[in-house]
Chain A
Amino acid sequence: MGETIIRIEHLTKIFGAGDGAVKALCDIDLAIEKGEIFGIIGLSGAGKSTLVRCVNLLERPTSGKVTVDGQELTALKERDLRRARRNMSMIFQGFNLLMQRTALENICFPLELNGLRGERKGREKRARELLKIVGLPDKADAYPAQLSGGQKQRIAIARALAGEPKVLLCDEATSALDPTTTQAILDLLKKINREMGVTVVVITHEMRVVEQICDRVAILDGGVIQEQGAVTEIFTNPRTEAGRRLVMPGGEKIHVLPENRLVRLAFNGATSGEPVIATLAAEQGIRLSIISADTRAIGDKAFGTMVLSLPQDETEAARALLYLRDIPGVTAEEVESDA
Chain B
Amino acid sequence: MLEMFTAAFWAEYGELLLEGIRDSLVMVSVSTVFAYLLGLPMGVVLVVTGQHGIRPNKAVNRILGWVVNIGRSLPFIILMIAIMDFTKLVVGTKIGVRGAIVPLVVSAAPFIARMVETSLAEVDAGVIEAAQSMGASDMQIVWKVYLPEAMPSLVLGGAISIITILAYSAIAGAIGAGGLGDLAIRYGYQRHMLSMMWGPAVFLVVLVQIIQVIFNRLSAKIDKRLR
| In the complex, residue of chain A having the shortest beta-carbon distance to the beta carbon of B150 | A100
Inside 8 A of A88's CB, which chain B residues have their CB? 133
B132, B137, B224, B225 — which one has the most chain A CB atoms within 10 A of its CB? Answer: B224
State A58–B126 Cα separation when bound (angstroms).
Answer: 12
Inside 8 A of A84's CB, which chain B residues have their CB? 135
Inside 8 A of A98's CB, which chain B residues have their CB? 127, 145, 148-149
Inside 8 A of B135's CB, which chain A residues have their CB? 82-86, 110, 113-114
Size of chain B's interface in residues, with CB distance under 8 A?
A: 25
A145 interface neighbour in B151, B152, B224, Cβ under 8 Å: B224
Interface residues of A in 226-261 (CB under 8 A from B): none
B227 interface neighbour in A56, A101, A145, A163, Cβ under 8 Å: A145
Nearest CB of B to A201, in Å: 13
Inside 8 A of A97's CB, which chain B residues have their CB? 127, 130
- Are B129 and A143 in contact (CB-based, < 8 A)? no
Interface residues of B in 198-227 (CB under 8 A from A): 222-227
Q: Does B22 contact A (CB under 8 A)?
A: no
A163 interface neighbour in B132, B134, B145, B149, Cβ under 8 Å: B134
Inside 8 A of A329's CB, which chain B residues have their CB? none
B130 interface neighbour in A96, A101, A146, Cβ under 8 Å: A96
Inside 8 A of B223's CB, which chain A residues have their CB? 100
State A114–B137 Cα separation when bound (angstroms).
Answer: 10
- Are A145 and B127 in contact (CB-based, < 8 A)? no
Inside 8 A of A90's CB, which chain B residues have their CB? 130, 133
Inside 8 A of A114's CB, which chain B residues have their CB? 135
Q: Does B136 contact A (CB under 8 A)?
A: yes
State A89–B133 Cα separation when bound (angstroms).
Answer: 6
Q: Does B85 contact A (CB under 8 A)?
A: no
State A72–B137 Cα separation when bound (angstroms).
Answer: 20
- Are A86 and B134 in contact (CB-based, < 8 A)? yes
Q: Does B3 contact A (CB under 8 A)?
A: no
Q: Does B144 contact A (CB under 8 A)?
A: yes
Inside 8 A of B131's CB, which chain A residues have their CB? 109, 113
- Are B127 and A110 in contact (CB-based, < 8 A)? no
Inside 8 A of A94's CB, which chain B residues have their CB? 124, 126
Known pairs A92-B126, A97-B127; A110 contacts B134 (CB<8 A): yes
Bitwise interface map of A from 97 to 114 toward B, beta carbon under 8 Å scored 1, else 0: 111111000000110111
State A144–B127 Cα separation when bound (angstroms).
Answer: 13
Interface residues of B in 166-197 (CB under 8 A from A): none
| In the complex, residue of chain B having the shortest beta-carbon distance to the beta carbon of A146 | B227
Inside 8 A of A56's CB, which chain B residues have their CB? 133
State A94–B128 Cα separation when bound (angstroms).
Answer: 12
Inside 8 A of B152's CB, which chain A residues have their CB? 100
| In the complex, residue of chain A having the shortest beta-carbon distance to the beta carbon of B126 | A96
- Are B134 and A113 in contact (CB-based, < 8 A)? yes
A100 interface neighbour in B133, B134, B136, B224, Cβ under 8 Å: B224
Inside 8 A of A146's CB, which chain B residues have their CB? 227
Q: Does B51 contact A (CB under 8 A)?
A: no
State A82–B134 Cα separation when bound (angstroms).
Answer: 8
Bitwise interface map of A from 163 to 184 toward B, beta carbon under 8 Å scored 1, else 0: 1000001000000000000000
- Are B227 and A143 in contact (CB-based, < 8 A)? yes
Inside 8 A of B126's CB, which chain A residues have their CB? 92, 94, 96
List chain B positions with a Cβ less than 8 A from chain A. Answer: 124, 126-127, 129-137, 140, 144-145, 148-149, 151-152, 222-227
List chain A positions with a Cβ less than 8 A from chain B. Answer: 56, 58, 82-86, 88-90, 92, 94, 96-102, 109-110, 112-114, 143-146, 163, 169
